[in-house]
C-alpha cells in the first residue's frame, strides 16, 4: 500500500497583489524544504515557517512525516538583523 500525498498550503510573502500569494502543493514521503522551494520557484534564500509550531523548518527534514494533512506554512526571505558598519 502506498502512502497518499499530503496537501499543504504555503503563503509566500512578497508576492501577489496584497504582498502574499497562497500556493497549494502535494507532498510525498521524502519531501524536504529544498523540494518545496524548487516547486515554488523560490531561491534557497527563502525560509519556511511552520505556523502550527511557530518554528522554522530546517534543511534535510522529511516534511511528509513532520507536517499534517492541510497544514499551512509561510515562505519569506531570510531576515538579517543589525546593520553594516
pLDDT (tens digit per residue) in 10-59: 999 877 666 678 999 999 999 999 999 999 999 999 999 999 999 999 99
Task: Give the pLDDT of residue 69.
Answer: 97
Helix (H) or strand (E) holding 34: helix 33-39
Written as nine digits, the cell of 26 is 502535494
* Domains of the chain by residue range: 6-77
The Cβ of residue 39 has, within 10 Å, a number of other Cβ atoms equal to: 14
Pick the CATH number of 6-77 from 3.40.50.620, 3.10.20.90, 3.40.1080.10, 2.40.50.220: 3.10.20.90
Beta bridge mates, 47: 76
Query: Has residue 1 got a pLDDT over 90?
Result: no
Span 62-83, pLDDT tens digits: 999 999 999 999 999 876 555 5
CA 12 vs CA 17, 82, 84: distances in Å = 12, 24, 27
pTM of the model: 0.81
The Cβ of residue 2 has, within 10 Å, a number of other Cβ atoms equal to: 6
Amino acid at each position: 500500500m502506498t502512502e497518499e500525498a499530503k496537501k499543504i498550503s504555503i503563503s509566500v510573502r512578497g508576492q501577489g497583489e496584497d504582498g502574499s500569494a497562497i500556493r497549494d502543493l502535494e507532498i510525498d514521503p521524502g519531501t524536504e524544504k529544498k523540494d518545496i522551494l524548487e516547486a515554488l520557484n523560490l531561491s534557497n534564500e527563502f525560509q519556511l515557517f511552520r505556523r502550527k509550531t511557530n518554528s522554522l523548518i530546517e534543511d534535510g527534514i522529511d516534511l511528509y512525516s513532520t507536517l499534517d494533512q492541510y497544514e499551512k506554512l509561510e515562505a519569506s526571505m531570510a531576515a538579517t538583523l543589525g546593520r553594516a558598519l
